[in-house]
Structure 1
Amino acid sequence: MSDPLDFPQPSMIAVNGIELEAFEAGQENVGHPLVLCHGWPELAFSWRRQMAALAAAGYHVIAPNQRGYGSSSRPATVSDYDIVHLSGDLVGLLDHFGYEDATFVGHDWGANVVWNTAVLHPTRVSKVVALSVPYMERGEIPPVAFIEAVVGPDSYFVHFNRRPGVADAVFDANTRQFLRNLYRKNEPAADPEPGMPLLNLAQAETPRGEPVMSDGELAVFVDAFEASGFTPSVNWYRNVDRNWELMRDVDPVVRQPALMIYGSRDTVMKAPNLEAFVPRVEVVELDCGHWIQQELPEEATNLILEWLHLQEGADRS
């Protein structure tokens, strides 16, 4: 088994008015692009267990640290992290490499960006693979107000927007502890605590459950977020109402073939009517929590490759 810390060296690529730090594998597989999009608070490094296998299967694998992460550009303006900018960055990557379209794979927030890129730029996305976060239909009221009405003010979506800067400062002050406590699996059930759960997590001295990664792997994330701070990545959340406005007149149906991979113990809710908006979706579930490709790397990789093989066979027939 290869050393997960033996990750490709990055290139800085100018796209969409910024620079993205991008990692590649399988550059010899020109013409078969596969773009991996991380979530929050993650990095391209979260795909460390997939990149070599996907490249060996014949893909040109491109994994960016998206804007706000790692050494990629970190604009100061909150609206620079809206879905138009985030999806435009992915299109810019394709333009840089000379690709008309690509298969996009996303986890968590990365899945949300990929879903929305599929409807904003349908000719640039050939297939979608989403882990954890399903496609979300556009509701009738702005998301922050909806979440606040259903869950209350302690939801991190609400807190990030209603109290800007507060959570960022706590995360910045407890970076290693927060990430150590967050990247866990097989966590025992616990009674809810008062306050915002992620702030409680960042300040908890004792982690729960089992670590998802080694200390060396965790250090990669800790070093990156100590350098960048959390505000740029949290700014993605501060655009959810803006994204709701921007998507008002966009055709909401994802028409590309799609694979949706859920974790059976993930706290992210499943979409009850996914097929209505993603008619060509296949849904599968793995016995894991939220950090799917890191908790079950071989199973996740094999699922993705098997599905892609079937899709490409159908394309040829």
Structure 2
Amino acid sequence: MQALHTQFLSVNGIRLCVHVAGPETGRPVWLLHGFPECWHSWREQIPALTAAGYRVFVPEMRGYGASDAPADIEAYDVLTICADIQASMTALDQHDVCMIGHDWGAMIAWHLAQLEPERISAVVTLSVPFAGRGKRPAIEIMREVFSDRFNYIVHFQQPGVAEQELDADIARSLRIFMQGASSSDLLLQPRSKDSTLFAGIETPAQLPEWCAPEDFAVYVETFADKGFRGAINWYRNFERNWQRTDFLQDVVIHQPTLFMVGEEDPVATLEAYTISKMPTRVSNLEQHQLADCGHWIQSEKAAEVNARLLAFLGQHYPADKRSEAAAQPPK
């Protein structure tokens, strides 16, 4: 792992923990993690990016790890979480940023691209495509579709229930999510709507190949103090997110954008239509499906993700901005 230092920023009413690496003169790249992960999920990308000359910023997102975890559910809506990163960019005097996100982090990156077309110069998202703002809140649709069977997102809506199940054995919960049951796999399992989160699911005996014991320990430590409540509160804001983002309804993303998803990720199947429609919503889009790859894409296929990422950045967001200027045709 490239040498890191930890910085705490007082932004947007919270203290945000950000891990920083790379040359101080490098162009800034932000890496936003998803659920149920942590900043360490980018451990394979940090050295590749810093070696290429980028200055990397890896936050522990609101509700996770050493960052603050406010009690109110409403403190975790998408615009508030975006404001954490926007305020951090301002505090660090950043006006030219590449934003990269996976899973929920991808959702934040998509929204930031819409909110910050001047400051965010390039976007990379993993696993979660850009769907835009729907005609009604997604949670309403989920409750209808899954009225007679289990759905983990619907299950997450009742405060206090899911976090009690997850917090009872943090290591077991993470093992199940990581191997044999990603969050989307849980959605697909045919179970009673009144089921508990992990009913009938055996604890994997081994960690996945992409997660060494020492890496897994960092994941466990992330949730050891605060538990899963803050992380789950992100899911409890689907309706509030929809209500607060009406002004983004028709905003097209014009920044150069790279999207990658694993072919074996259930999201690739569930969101196949959304993925096919993305070029109408993201005008400068490059996208790839990675073979033999599931949801934890930047860990499962680190070498391929890094190669495609660095090639994209080299073309659209080179570490030395003078290279970008030199590549522009004369006016």
Supply the AA of the counterpart residue of 1:286: L
Supply the AA of the counterpart residue of 2:286: E
2:303 corresponds to: 298
**Deviation for aligned residue 1:44:** 0.8
| Inter-partner Cα distance in structure 2 for 1:185 and 1:263 | 15
1:160-199 matches, within 5 Å, as 160-161=156-157, 163-184=158-179, 192-195=189-192, 199=197
Supply the AA of the counterpart residue of 2:189: P
Indicate whether 1:104 and 2:99 are aligned. Answer: yes
**Compared CA separation, residues 231 and 138, structure 1 to 2 (3 A):** same
2:313 corresponds to: 308
TM-score relative to the length of structure 1: 0.90
Aligned positions, number: 310
**Residues 13 and 20 in structure 1, CA contact (< 8 A), matched pair in contact too:** yes
The superposition leaves residues 285-304 of structure 1 with CA deviations (integer Å, 9 ceiling, x where unpaired) of 11200000011111111110
Supply the AA of the counterpart residue of 2:19: F
1:53 corresponds to: 48
Which shows bigger deviation, 53-62 or 210-219?
210-219
Indicate whether 1:8 and 2:7 are aligned. Answer: no
Instruction: Give the CA RMSD over aligned residues.
Output: 2.5
2:211 corresponds to: 213
Percent identical among aligned pairs is 35
2:59 corresponds to: 64
**Residues 185 and 211 in structure 1, CA contact (< 8 A), matched pair in contact too:** no
1:261 corresponds to: 260
**Residues 105 and 114 in structure 1, CA contact (< 8 A), matched pair in contact too:** yes
2:294 corresponds to: 289
| Inter-partner Cα distance in structure 1 for 2:57 and 2:70 | 22
Give ranges in structure 2 of 5+ residues lacking alignment: 318-322
Name the SS of the counterpart of 2:164 in structure 1.
Answer: helix
**Residues 150 and 189 in structure 2, CA contact (< 8 A), matched pair in contact too:** no
The superposition leaves residues 46-103 of structure 1 with CA deviations (integer Å, 9 ceiling, x where unpaired) of 0011111101101110000011011001111111111111111111121122111300
The superposition leaves residues 249-278 of structure 1 with CA deviations (integer Å, 9 ceiling, x where unpaired) of 224311211100011100112323111111
2:240 corresponds to: 242
2:278 corresponds to: 274
**Deviation for aligned residue 1:198:** 8.1
1:233 corresponds to: 231
**Residues 10 and 21 in structure 1, CA contact (< 8 A), matched pair in contact too:** yes
1:25 corresponds to: 21
Give ranges in structure 1 of 5+ residues lacking alignment: none
TM-score relative to the length of structure 2: 0.87
**Residues 49 and 297 in structure 1, CA contact (< 8 A), matched pair in contact too:** yes
| Inter-partner Cα distance in structure 1 for 2:171 and 2:81 | 27
| Inter-partner Cα distance in structure 2 for 1:134 and 1:49 | 22
